[in-house]
């Protein structure tokens, strides 16, 4: 029996993952955010037992749609934007995941985000697979009318693969209820009926769910509070540092503050502020809305972006974008606990360093699952046309997040691994069990 020799001139990434594991449409010398996900899958593979037979399923998105989004701008010119929709896996149900508008959106990023959605949905046992979408544009440079036209054209272009039982988009970075209203209306006009279940995160008046706005930040709080209890950290007076003061970071900061914790540092795109005495998130938000910046808030001092990572704190919440915690700043972090509100904020090498330092990380695929959980509630309510109260929503969300955290913590303790690895063990097992049971067609 002969063996096939390893191809010559492999890049380091190809040697790590296998030459056939990197899709041809990615640059093997610069894979991008999808590299983080691939490494996470490699790390969990030894724990999958016989299901490792199917592990290549996790490394390849099921479907990728790249679209051109041409629109008329207000000045009469025509602009073209890159749009993406990636369905990573649908073994356990329809694809589910947000749509982000950002000038740095890439295919690799959307692939990674869709893959993390697969893991996230399986981790909290929602009947979904993973999907994600994005448009490469800076929304700050365009009018409301231009953004509406972009949204409607993008929705029409990806309408081939989305639908209430196929793929359900939701808000993400720089999108929100209004964006989802435009997407729902556009899809509905194209299919000839009102289809409220095609997206989640809609306004309540269009079939949206109460509690959706704070859901991701609330989930961050619940997961963080559970971790603090496991670690013997008191919630009252705990010092919290938050990176990102958008929907997730602001809500998480506010709910921690309401439960007696002390927010000592906030960083967003406008700058970094610090106060040892504590910052009231509601006051900070009012200041941001009034001035366009968190800087200049009374009772706070301005720090450099780099100094944010070294502030004295007990809990750090990265709630901005991916690849924020790196080898360059992980060593400066003083927190005992990191709760990832953003997707993919910590690179694997920094993860290892933090583990060596004794820092516990509640990974994104668990910590920020509150958003998709309430999106699931919204989807269910749209199908039944029966809507729950906000108290019912929050009670069910808290229970799902608590139960998921405790079961995953038990897996962590049993295997002697990080919480991230424990989440991947459980989630990947669930996805691959479904893949194995369904088999391959034809």
pLDDT tens track for 329-357: 999 999 999 999 998 899 999 999 999 99
Alpha helices in 260-302 (DSSP H): 281-291
Topology at the third CATH level for domain 61-204: Rossmann fold (3.40.50)
> Integer distance in angstroms from the first to the last C-alpha of the chain?
30
* pLDDT above 60 for 12: no
Cα(423)–Cα(279) distance, integer angstroms: 33
Which residue has better confidence, 15 or 22? 22
The residues of the chain that CATH labels 3.40.50.720 are 214-346
Residue pair 92/430 in contact (Cβ under 8 Å)? The answer is yes
* pLDDT above 70 for 1: no
Domain 214-346 belongs to what architecture?
A: 3-Layer(aba) Sandwich (3.40)
Percent of the chain with pLDDT over 90: 90
Sign of torsion, CA 284 289 290 295?
positive
Cα(395)–Cα(389) distance, integer angstroms: 10
**Cβ atoms within 10 A of the Cβ of 80, count?**
9
The widest CA-to-CA distance across the chain, in whole angstroms, is 75
- Rounded mean pLDDT, 3-7: 40
Task: Encode pLDDT of 155-181 as tens digits.
Answer: 999 999 999 999 999 999 899 999 999
Helix/strand/coil percentages in the chain, nearest 5: 50, 15, 35
Q: Order of strands across the sheet with 301-303?
A: 301-303, 271-274, 262-268, 239-243, 315-318, 337-339, 360-362
The residues of the chain that CATH labels 3.40.50.10860 are 61-204
Sign of torsion, CA 228 231 236 241?
negative
Q: Which residues are catalytic?
A: 132
- Rounded mean pLDDT, 230-234: 96
- Rounded mean pLDDT, 238-245: 96
Residue pair 73/120 in contact (Cβ under 8 Å)? The answer is no
- Rounded mean pLDDT, 31-39: 91
Q: Angle 439-441-442 (CA atoms, 0-180°, nearest 5)?
A: 130
> What is the SS3 assignment for 210?
coil
Q: What is the pLDDT of residue 28?
A: 86
Tell me the pLDDT band of 8, cut-offs 50, 70 and 90.
very low
* pLDDT above 90 for 21: no
Return mean pLDDT, the chain. Answer: 93
Look up residue 81 and give its DSSP letter: E
**Cβ atoms within 10 A of the Cβ of 76, count?**
6
Task: Encode pLDDT of 313-327 as tens digits.
Answer: 999 999 998 889 999
> In whole angstroms, how large is the CA radius of gyration of the chain?
21
Task: Encode pLDDT of 78-130 as tens digits.
Answer: 999 999 999 999 999 999 999 999 999 999 999 999 999 999 999 999 999 99
Annotated binding site for substrate: 96, 120, 375
> What is the SS3 assignment for 162?
coil
**Cβ atoms within 10 A of the Cβ of 176, count?**
15
Residue 442: asked if its preceding bond is cis (omega within 30°), the reply is yes
The set of residues, in sequence order, having a beta carbon less than 8 Å from that of 228 and lying 6+ positions away, is 234, 235, 238, 315, 337
* pLDDT above 70 for 271: yes
* pLDDT above 50 for 426: yes
* pLDDT above 90 for 20: no
Cα–Cα distances in angstroms (integers) from residue 275 to residues 55, 170, 265, 278, 335, in the given order? 47, 35, 6, 5, 16
Q: Which two tokens stand for residue 412?
A: 């962590």
Task: Encode pLDDT of 291-313 as tens digits.
Answer: 999 999 999 999 999 999 999 99
């Amino acid at each position: 029996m002969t063996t096939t020799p390893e191809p010559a001139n492999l890049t380091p990434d190809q040697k790590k993952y296998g030459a056939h594991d990197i899709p041809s449409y990615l640059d093997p010398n610069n894979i991008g955010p999808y590299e983080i996900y691939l490494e996470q899958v490699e790390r969990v593979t030894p724990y999958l037992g016989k299901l490792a037979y199917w592990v290549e399923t996790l490394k390849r998105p099921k479907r990728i749609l790249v679209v051109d989004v041409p629109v008329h701008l207000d000045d009469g010119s025509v602009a073209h934007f890159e749009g993406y929709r990636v369905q990573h896996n649908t073994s356990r149900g329809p694809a589910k995941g947000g749509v982000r508008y950002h000038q740095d959106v890439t295919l690799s990023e959307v692939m990674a985000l869709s893959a993390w959605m697969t893991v996230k949905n399986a981790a909290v046992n929602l009947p979904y697979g993973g999907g994600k979408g994005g448009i490469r544009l800076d929304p700050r440079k365009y009018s409301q009318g231009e953004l509406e036209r972009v949204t409607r054209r993008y929705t029409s272009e990806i309408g081939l693969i989305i639908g209430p039982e196929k793929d359900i988009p939701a808000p993400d970075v720089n999108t929100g209820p209004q964006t989802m209203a435009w997407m729902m209306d556009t899809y509905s006009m194209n299919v000839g009926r009102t289809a409220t279940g095609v997206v989640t995160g809609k306004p309540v008046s269009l079939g949206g769910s109460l509690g959706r706005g704070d859901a991701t930040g609330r989930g961050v709080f619940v997961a963080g509070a559970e971790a603090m209890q496991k670690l013997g950290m008191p919630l009252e007076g705990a010092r919290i540092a938050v990176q990102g003061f958008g929907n997730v970071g602001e809500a998480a900061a506010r709910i921690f503050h309401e439960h007696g914790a002390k927010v000592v540092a906030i960083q967003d795109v406008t700058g970094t502020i610090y106060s040892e005495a504590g910052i009231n998130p509601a006051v900070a938000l009012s200041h941001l809305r009034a001035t366009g910046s968190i800087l200049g808030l009374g009772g706070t001092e301005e720090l450099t972006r780099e100094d944010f990572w070294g502030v004295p704190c007990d809990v750090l919440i990265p709630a901005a974008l991916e690849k924020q915690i790196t080898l360059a700043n992980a060593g400066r972090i003083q927190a005992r606990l990191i709760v990832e509100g953003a997707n993919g904020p910590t690179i694997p090498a920094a993860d290892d360093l933090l583990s060596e330092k004794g820092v516990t990380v509640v990974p994104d695929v668990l910590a920020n699952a509150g958003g998709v959980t309430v999106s699931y509630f919204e989807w269910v309510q749209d199908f039944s046309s029966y809507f729950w109260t906000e108290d019912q929503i929050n009670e069910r969300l808290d229970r799902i997040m608590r139960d998921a955290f405790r079961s995953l913590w038990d897996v962590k303790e049993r295997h002697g691994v990080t919480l991230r690895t424990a989440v991947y063990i459980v989630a990947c097992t669930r996805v691959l069990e479904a893949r194995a049971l369904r088999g391959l067609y034809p």
